[in-house]
A and B are shown apart, each in its own frame.
Chain A
Amino acid sequence: MPSIMQASHIEKYFGNKGNVTKALDDLSFDVEKGDFVGIMGPSGSGKTTLLNCISTIDTVTTGHITINSQDITKLKKKHLEKFRRDELGFIFQDFNLLDTLTAFENIALALTIQGEKPSEITSKVQATAEKLEITSVLNKFPYEMSGGQKQRVASARAIVTNPSLVLADEPTGALDSKSSRLLLESFEKLNQDLDTTILMVTHDAFTASYANRILFIKDGKIFNELVKGQDTRKAFFNRIMEVVTLLGGDADDVF
C-alpha cells in the first residue's frame, strides 16, 4: 500500500522565549491509502494541533508533512489554499454547513470552488448523496435537518471532490448515539467501498472503535498505537478502553 500521508519528526511550539509550550513533540507516523486512522488523546494532548497542522490551517515549527507526495510545510500560502481545496476534505464537530444554502448546494459548493463543470455537478452530488443515504434531504436547508443528517451532508461535502485525505474533527461530538452510529457506519462504508482515506480525531472510544488503526497522543507524543487487524469491533473497543484507562494517568501519578 502506498503511503498517502507522512509526518516525520514534526514539532510545534507555542509561546515565546522563556515560556515555550511544546504542543507537538517529535511526532512521526504514516497513513496509507485506504486507511481509517483514529487519533485519540485527552484534552490538551495536542490532537487538534496535529489536525490543524495536517490540514494546513496551522504550520509546524519543524519537521515535514507530506501528503500525496507534496511537502505541505514548503508550500506557499497561495498553493496551500489550492492544496487544501483539491486534496483534503473536512468534517467538523459542528457541521459547518452554510445555513443559507440547501443540502444540495452545500455539497455542490465544494465542487464549484474547485471549478467543476456545471454539467457534472448534479450527477456527482446525487451519487455521493446516495452513498450517504441523504437523497431525501437534498432540497432542505440545514435548519430543517436533524444533527445526523447535517453531519452526513457535511461528510458528503467532504468526499464529493474525491480528496486524497478526509480529516474529521470529532465528527460525532454533537450527535446523539444513534446518529453517531449511523454516521460511523457510513464512514466505514466509504472507507471499505470507495477506499477513502480517513483521519479522524476523537476522544470517544466508541467512535474510535470504527477505525482500523488508532494513534494515542499524550503531551504531544505518540503514546501508543493500536491496530484492529482481525479483531471484531467489540474486541477492538475493549483494547481501546484499556489504553484510555492507561492514558488517564499512571497509577504512580495518583499516589
Chain B
Amino acid sequence: MYFKLSLRNVKRSFKDYAIYFLTITFAVCLFYSFNSISAQKAMLDLSSTQSDMIDVLMRMIGAISVFISVVLAFLILFANRFLIKRRQKELGMYMTLGMSKYHISRILVMETFFIGLMSLAVGLGLGVLLSQGLSVLTGALFKVDMNAYEFVFSTEAMIKTVIYFGIIFLVVMVTNILVMSRYKLIDLLTASRKNQKLKLRKTSTAVIVFISSLILLGIAYGMMLEYGLFYDIAVFWVSIALGAVGTFLFFFSLSGFLLNVLKKNEKLYYNHINMFVLRQINSKVNSTFISMTIICLMLFFTIGVLSTGFSLKESLEKELDQTTPYDATLYDYVDGEEVGTLKEAFNNLELNEYGDTIVFTRHRTDERIINYLKPYSTRDSNKFLDQDRGVDLEVMKRSDYEELVKMQGKEPISLKGEEVLLLTNRTNLKESIRHFVEQEEKIKIRGESYPITSKGMQMLSTKTDSVAMEFMTAVLPDEMAEQLPVFSVTLNVQYEEGKQGVADEKVQEARRMLNQRSDLSTHVLGTTKTGAYERSTGTSAVAVYIGVYLGIVFLISSAAILALQQLSEASENMERYSMLKKIGVTQKGVHQSIFKQVFVYFMMPLALAIIHSIFGIKVVNDALLTAGQSSVLLPSFITAGVIIIVYGGYFLATYSGYKSIVK
C-alpha cells in the first residue's frame, strides 16, 4: 500500500518534482561525463607525457569531484527540503489518518528512492551521450589527433557516480526521517497559514551600505584594470576579496536601497501592482542576500572561466611558438673558470649526430634596462618595468647571433662596424625598445658608447624555453662582447628530420649526466621543444578542463537554487495572489507580476556577475593582447549561449511552475 502511495505521489506531484528531477539528472550527467576521461583515452592518440597528463587530470577531477559532490549534496538537500515544505499539509493529513511517523518516513524514503533511481538512470544515459562529445573537447584541449571513433563507456565512472549519488540519496533519506520526527502535527496542518515577519532595515543604513559596496566594487575593478592579471598574486587576491565583500554588501543593501529610491518615483511605484511586486522582491532579497552573493560569484566564475579559459590557453600556446625556436636547449648560469669546463662539456656531448648544434655565451653588463627604457615606456612595459627593476641588459656576440638566426632558418640583420642590434622576446617590451632604437642614436654600455643600427630591433628567442625570459639583449661586435664577463652558456640543438624521438631522450640523458659531474657546481637547465609543449598544453588543458567542469556545475547549481527559492515562495504566495485576484487583479496581471518577480530575481545576481565579468574579461583580454594575440569574442558568445540555454531554461521552468502553483 505504502509502495503504491509513494509511487502515485511521485507521479502526481511530477510538476513539483520537475526541477528537482532535472537538477539531479544534470548533476549525474555531468558527474559521469567528467569522470569518464580515462575511458576517453582509448580514442585519443596520446604520447606518454600526454598520457601522464591525463592521469594527472584524472586524479584532479577525482579530487574536485569530492568537492562537487558536496556542493550537489547541499543542492539536493535544499531541493528536498523545498519539496517536503510544499507537502506539509499532505503529510499532516496522513498523520491525522493515523499513519505513524515511521510509515510516513517510509513513504518519503521510497519516494526519494524512486526519484533517485529515475534521475540516476536518465542522467547516466545522458552522461554517456555527453561523454562522446566531451572526448572531442579533450582532444582539442590536449592538441592530439583523434583515432577512429570508438564508443566511450566507463564502467569505473558509472560505478563511481552510482556510489557518490547513492550516498547523497542516503543522506537525503536520513534527513527526511530526522525532519519528520521533529514535526508536530499542528505545525504541519497550519503550515500554510503562518504570517511572515518582515525584517526592515533603516533607509539611511541601506543607503550608506549600498554606496560603500559600490566604492568597494569600484576599487576592486580599478585595481584589476590598473595592475592586470599577472602583476602580483597578492594584488589579484586582494581585488578578488574586495570584489566579493562588495558583492555581499551590494545584495545586503540593494533591495532596501532600491525600494526607497523607487518609492520616491510615484509614477512607477503606484503603477498597477508594481508596489506589490517590489515589496515581494524586497522581502525575498532581504532574506536571501547570502545565497544571492554566492550565486553571483559562482556565475562570475562560470562566465569568466568559460569565456576566457580557452583563449588564455591558446595565447599561452602562441607564446610558446615564439619561445621554442630550437628542438632542444641546455643552459647554465656560470662564470669564471667553469665557463670553459661547461663549454667543453657541451661540445663533448656528441649531440651533433642528431642535427646542428651551437654553443654560445651571454655576457653581463650590470646595466639596468629600466635606465634605457624609462623614457620610452608604454602602458604594457610600464607595468613590467615597475615590478622588474632588477633586470639587466645582456650582451651576445655578433657571430653567435648570426649563426643562431640562421639555425632558425631566417636571415640575420647585417651589422657593420660597431653597430649594435637590440633583441627581446617579450611582447610587452617590444614597443618600448622599438621607440628607444628609433629615438636614440647611441647606446651606452659600461661607459662605452655604441651606435645603434638603423635597421631597428628584433623579436628573437635565442633558446627554447617554456616562458619568454630574454628581456633585452644587445648584439655587440665579437671582440667587444668578449671583454665582458660571461653570464651563461647555452647549447641549442636543431634536429635532423626523423631523429626527434631518440634525440629527445639523448638530450635528457645528457642533462642528467652533466648534473652528476662533480667539477660543475651549478645545475644545468634546459628542455626540449616537445617537452615544453606537452607540459604547457597539458597544464593549461588540465586547468581549463577543471574550470569548465566547475563552471557548469556552478551554473546549474545557481539556476537551481534560484528556481527552488522562487518556487518555495510560490506556495507561500498562493494566498497573496488569490487575494489580489479577489480585489480585482486580472489573471494576466497576476502572470505579469509573477514574470517580473521571477525575472528580476533571476537577473539580479546574473546582472552583477555580468558586470564583474566585463571587467574580468577586459583584464584577461589585455593580458592576452600583450602575450599572444587571441580574442575572447567568440568564446564569450558561446558562453552567453550556454548561459541563456541553461539559465533561461531554468527561468522558464520556474515561471511556468510558479504559474501552475498559483493557479
A residues sitting closer than 8 Å to B (CB atoms) are 57, 78, 81-82, 84-86, 88, 90, 92, 96-101, 105, 108-116, 118-119, 121, 141-143, 157
**Which chain B residue has the least Cβ–Cβ distance from A119?**
B266
Partner of B198, one of A85, A100, A113: A100
Most buried by A among B279, B280, B584, B585: B584
B residues sitting closer than 8 Å to A (CB atoms) are 195-198, 266-267, 269-276, 279-280, 282-283, 576, 579-580, 582-587, 589
A101 touches B586 (CB 8 A): no
Contacts of B271 in A (CB 8 A): 112, 118
Question: Could you pull out 21 A-B pairs where Cβ atoms are within 8 angstroms?
Answer: A78-B586, A81-B585, A84-B584, A85-B585, A85-B586, A90-B582, A90-B583, A99-B195, A99-B196, A100-B196, A100-B279, A100-B282, A105-B275, A109-B276, A109-B583, A112-B274, A118-B269, A118-B270, A119-B266, A142-B195, A157-B583
Query: Which 4 residue pairs across A and B have the least CB separation, nearest first?
Result: A85-B584, A118-B266, A118-B270, A100-B279
Determine the distance from Cα of A116 to Cα of B270 in the docked complex, in whole angstroms.
8
**Which chain A residue has the least Cβ–Cβ distance from B268?**
A118
Query: A126 to chain B: closest CB distance in Å?
Result: 14
Query: B587 to chain A: closest CB distance in Å?
Result: 7
**Which chain A residue has the least Cβ–Cβ distance from B280?**
A100
A108 touches B270 (CB 8 A): yes
**Which chain B residue has the least Cβ–Cβ distance from A56?**
B584
Determine the distance from Cα of A85 to Cα of B580 in the docked complex, in whole angstroms.
10
Most buried by B among A82, A92, A100, A113: A100
Query: B283 to chain A: closest CB distance in Å?
Result: 5
Determine the distance from Cα of A57 to Cα of B582 in the docked complex, in whole angstroms.
8
Query: B618 to chain A: closest CB distance in Å?
Result: 40
B582 touches A143 (CB 8 A): no
B276 touches A98 (CB 8 A): yes
Determine the distance from Cα of A127 to Cα of B403 in the docked complex, in whole angstroms.
97
A81 touches B587 (CB 8 A): yes
Determine the distance from Cα of A171 to Cα of B282 in the docked complex, in whole angstroms.
31
Query: B594 to chain A: closest CB distance in Å?
Result: 15
Contacts of A86 in B (CB 8 A): 584
Query: B366 to chain A: closest CB distance in Å?
Result: 73
Contacts of A90 in B (CB 8 A): 582-583
Contacts of B267 in A (CB 8 A): 118
Determine the distance from Cα of A150 to Cα of B377 in the docked complex, in whole angstroms.
72
Determine the distance from Cα of A44 to Cα of B228 in the docked complex, in whole angstroms.
76
Determine the distance from Cα of A81 to Cα of B266 in the docked complex, in whole angstroms.
25
Determine the distance from Cα of A101 to Cα of B280 in the docked complex, in whole angstroms.
9
A108 touches B584 (CB 8 A): no
Partner of A81, one of B275, B280, B584: B584
Determine the distance from Cα of A164 to Cα of B272 in the docked complex, in whole angstroms.
21
Contacts of B198 in A (CB 8 A): 99-100, 141, 143
Main secondary structure, interface of B, reads helix
Contacts of A111 in B (CB 8 A): 270
Query: A124 to chain B: closest CB distance in Å?
Result: 11
Contacts of A115 in B (CB 8 A): 272
Most buried by B among A88, A109, A141: A109
B275 touches A121 (CB 8 A): no
Contacts of A116 in B (CB 8 A): 270
Most buried by A among B195, B282, B583, B587: B583
Contacts of A110 in B (CB 8 A): 583-584
Contacts of B582 in A (CB 8 A): 57, 90, 92, 96
A113 touches B270 (CB 8 A): no
B586 touches A81 (CB 8 A): yes
**Which chain B residue has the least Cβ–Cβ distance from A86?**
B584
Determine the distance from Cα of A17 to Cα of B74 in the docked complex, in whole angstroms.
52
Determine the distance from Cα of A119 to Cα of B269 in the docked complex, in whole angstroms.
11
Contacts of B269 in A (CB 8 A): 118
Determine the distance from Cα of A6 to Cα of B388 in the docked complex, in whole angstroms.
92
Query: A159 to chain B: closest CB distance in Å?
Result: 12
Determine the distance from Cα of A143 to Cα of B194 in the docked complex, in whole angstroms.
11
Contacts of B584 in A (CB 8 A): 81-82, 84-86, 88, 110, 113-114
Determine the distance from Cα of A112 to Cα of B268 in the docked complex, in whole angstroms.
10
Partner of A101, one of B197, B276, B587: B276
Determine the distance from Cα of A100 to Cα of B196 in the docked complex, in whole angstroms.
8
A108 touches B275 (CB 8 A): yes
Query: B56 to chain A: closest CB distance in Å?
Result: 53
Q: A85-B584, A113-B583, A157-B583 are in contact. Are A101 and B195 (CB under 8 A)?
A: no
Query: B256 to chain A: closest CB distance in Å?
Result: 14
B275 touches A109 (CB 8 A): yes
Contacts of A88 in B (CB 8 A): 584
Determine the distance from Cα of A99 to Cα of B200 in the docked complex, in whole angstroms.
13
Determine the distance from Cα of A81 to Cα of B591 in the docked complex, in whole angstroms.
14
Contacts of A85 in B (CB 8 A): 583-586
Most buried by B among A81, A98, A101, A157: A98
Determine the distance from Cα of A86 to Cα of B280 in the docked complex, in whole angstroms.
25
11 additional A-B pairs beyond A85-B585, A90-B583, A100-B198, beta carbons within 8 Å, are A78-B586, A81-B584, A84-B584, A92-B582, A96-B582, A100-B276, A100-B283, A108-B275, A110-B583, A113-B273, A114-B584
**Which chain B residue has the least Cβ–Cβ distance from A85?**
B584
Determine the distance from Cα of A166 to Cα of B432 in the docked complex, in whole angstroms.
83
Query: A81 to chain B: closest CB distance in Å?
Result: 4
B279 touches A96 (CB 8 A): no
B585 touches A113 (CB 8 A): yes
Query: B327 to chain A: closest CB distance in Å?
Result: 72
Query: A67 to chain B: closest CB distance in Å?
Result: 14
Q: A112-B274, A121-B266, A143-B198 are in contact. Are A98 and B585 (CB under 8 A)?
A: no
Determine the distance from Cα of A121 to Cα of B275 in the docked complex, in whole angstroms.
13
Q: A78-B586, A121-B270 are in contact. Are A143 and B276 (CB under 8 A)?
A: no
Contacts of A142 in B (CB 8 A): 195
A96 touches B272 (CB 8 A): no
**Which chain B residue has the least Cβ–Cβ distance from A92?**
B582
Determine the distance from Cα of A57 to Cα of B581 in the docked complex, in whole angstroms.
10
Contacts of B280 in A (CB 8 A): 100
**Which chain B residue has the least Cβ–Cβ distance from A83?**
B584
